[in-house]
Chain A
Amino acid sequence: MTLTDAVDFNRAVLARAYVRVVGVNREISWMLAEIFLPMLSVTAYIFLYRALGAPKMYEGLVVLGAAMIPFWLVVLWSMAMQFYWEKEMGNLDIYMASPTNPIALLLGMAIGGLVMGGLRSFAVLLVGLGVFRVELSVTSWPALVVAFVLTLSALFTMGMAAASVYFVTGRKGIKINIALMEPIYMLSGMFFPMKNMGRILGAVASIVPLSIGLDAIRQVTLPGMANLEFLPFKVELAILMVMTVVFGVLALKLMARMERKGKTEGTLTEKWL
């Protein structure tokens, strides 16, 4: 990649991200819904813990989990489904016939999603801290930042890899996506510590970077996590790093394969409906 290539790539990423953010914000009610929704589920589970007379720390656990939901939704809906949507909307051939790398399109969606997801996540934290008086105490900010960044990078590379897979599965992809929402909330320990699922289910759950990432983030923000952690903090960081690399390579490979297969079979731009 030359310097001009890199500049062009950036330009494409930013343009896509810009359009995504502006597009969402243009519909006020939409934005409200996006911010409002994740808060409701937090609230429900906090009340459940209260009904059970659980320690205050458990509520912090829920708030952190819910604060990560928006990023997972970005992966699921903005990234994994992207090629498929674009094809259905008749944009994919325009993208593919342009000199830009399809990765730029996905990264653009990721960054746009990061802005939106960040906003929603922030809203959840505000409600958690302000209304429910949840107590978080960050033991090490650098550790938190590293854990968060690694979680996102593993998530987003996973989203990119999924984009090619979903492109091929088409309408089934949407169904899979919908079917995966709550199971992933469950498996990633969004509302209870991952350790609680036991080793076997925990190992299965670790395939989703969200689970490990969330566990790592909780370890450096919740004082009471000391004996509830799934794996040691540093091990979790290492796993996230490996995942980023593996999913990244996989994404590139799958994307090239998708294009090759689509061009051979003539399905690259053919719509389902």
Chain B
Amino acid sequence: MPPAILTKNLRREFQKKGKTKHVALDGVDIEVEPGEIFGFLGPNGAGKTTLIKILCTLLYPSGGEAYVDGLDVVKDTREVRRRIAIVSGGEQSGYGIMTVFENIWMFSQFYGIPSKIAKDRIWHYLKAFGLEKDAHTKVSKLSTGMRQKMNIIRGFVTDPKIFFLDEPTLGLDVHIAREVRDTIRNWTTDHPDKTVFLTTHYMAEAEALCDRIAIIDGGKIVECDTPANIREKVGGGAVYHLKLEPVPPDLSFLDAIPAVRNPVLADANEATGQCEVRFNLDSDDQLSHVLQAAETRGFRVAGFAKAEPALEDLFMTIVGRKLRDEE
């Protein structure tokens, strides 16, 4: 079976005003297996939508190759389109004067789905989303959350092999966003062969939903792995918080300990004369070396904590480090 999505050295440039070029995608290589929920994580302007548009045949790449279900997105446009659905967050699609049901039905007809089958599916998903009461409500009367649910149903009804979701929970409140995530996950549980490719700039969302995550920044993939492995790779797990007194002028006293990585001096407080030092450590065993080094230099250890990192922190670490490397 071909990979659900495959890109090789994919590039996309945009002509900005004047002669300058803006590189939105800078040599992207990804491979997504059928059945995966794959997350594409990155800040605004990172190139997420650009990638989705290329994969959904709405934009040509400037270089490289992209395949969806083994089909070239540039050459086999029509066949690719038969296999995909796309839903974007924060979009205002649909016809306000038509009902929810009519809107979804109309779009389903563009995929050659016999009307009867389409209608059954629509009811099925309206029920799954708890929207059946609003089936005959005009779209202009829907709340943002309901509207987004309608959009996602529109995607489900066309039974895509690969479902593209561009920031699907953008602008939704926490509660609705969770509902949306749940239904996406339920859909993949019910159809284990379906692939979901979603972009987001919410770390928690990627972590909660995805089998694998690619982190993109400035058009480049900086990391691509399972959420667990990314933690592992970046931080070696936990973050250690050490409260020291008085505030050290620098962190050179930690240089001698190779197990300490990414040390940061934070929260220096003039009044109390205390500060916090954060770092990653290869293993707990090494902690005694750190405490020792601190005491030798005459610092008092006023407190200590160990925390599992949120993906949020990891992201900052990765992107921050990557940016510094380039300079």
Contact = CB atoms under 8 A, between A and B. Distances in A.
In the complex, are there CB atoms of A and B closer than 8 Å? Answer: yes
Contact of B98 (A8, A11, A23, A265): A23
Of the candidates B58, B81, B98, B109, the one having the most CB atoms from chain A within 10 angstroms of its own CB is B109
B56 A97 contact: yes
Interface of B is mostly: mixed
Interface of B: 14-15, 50, 53, 56-60, 78, 81-82, 84-86, 88, 91-95, 97-98, 102, 105-107, 109-112, 114-115, 154, 158
A90 B58 CA distance: 13
A7 B92 CA distance: 30
A265 B85 CA distance: 23
A4 interface: yes
Contact of B15 (A8, A98, A263, A265): A265
B111 A98 contact: yes
Of the candidates B50, B81, B93, the one having the most CB atoms from chain A within 10 angstroms of its own CB is B93
Nearest to A95: B110
30 contacts: A8-B112, A12-B109, A15-B110, A16-B106, A19-B95, A19-B98, A19-B102, A19-B106, A22-B102, A23-B95, A26-B97, A27-B97, A94-B93, A94-B154, A96-B58, A97-B56, A97-B81, A97-B84, A98-B81, A98-B110, A98-B158, A99-B78, A99-B81, A99-B110, A104-B110, A263-B57, A263-B59, A264-B60, A266-B53, A268-B58
A239 interface: no
B19 to A, nearest CB: 15
A272 to B, nearest CB: 14
Contacts of B81: 97-99
A230 B105 CA distance: 47
A31 B238 CA distance: 67
Closest 8 CB pairs of A and B: A15-B109, A8-B112, A100-B110, A98-B110, A99-B81, A263-B60, A90-B93, A99-B82
A264 B14 CA distance: 9
Interface in A1-27: 4, 7-8, 11-12, 14-16, 18-19, 22-23, 26-27
A11 B115 contact: yes
A7 B112 contact: yes
Nearest to B55: A97
Given A4-B112, A11-B115, A99-B112, A93 B106 contact: no
Given A14-B109, A19-B102, A269 B58 contact: yes
B107 A94 contact: yes
A94 to B, nearest CB: 6
A96 B53 CA distance: 11
Nearest to B113: A11
Nearest to A93: B58
Nearest to B61: A263
A90 B91 contact: yes
A15 B106 contact: yes
Interface residues of A, number: 32
Of the candidates A11, A16, A18, the one having the most CB atoms from chain B within 10 angstroms of its own CB is A11
A97 B83 CA distance: 10
A48 to B, nearest CB: 37
Contacts of B78: 99
Given A15-B110, A263-B60, A23 B92 contact: no
B110 A12 contact: yes
Given A99-B111, A269-B58, A91 B93 contact: yes
Contacts of B97: 23, 26-27
A11 B57 CA distance: 22
Nearest to A20: B95
A14 B114 CA distance: 12
B14 A266 contact: yes
Nearest to B108: A15
A15 B59 contact: no
Of the candidates A7, A23, A100, A264, the one having the most CB atoms from chain B within 10 angstroms of its own CB is A100
A89 interface: yes
A94 B112 contact: no
A26 B114 CA distance: 25
B98 A22 contact: yes
A18 B106 contact: yes
B86 A93 contact: yes
A266 B154 CA distance: 25
Given A99-B78, A266-B59, A15 B94 contact: no
Contact of B107 (A7, A26, A98): A98
Of the candidates B15, B57, B95, B110, the one having the most CB atoms from chain A within 10 angstroms of its own CB is B110
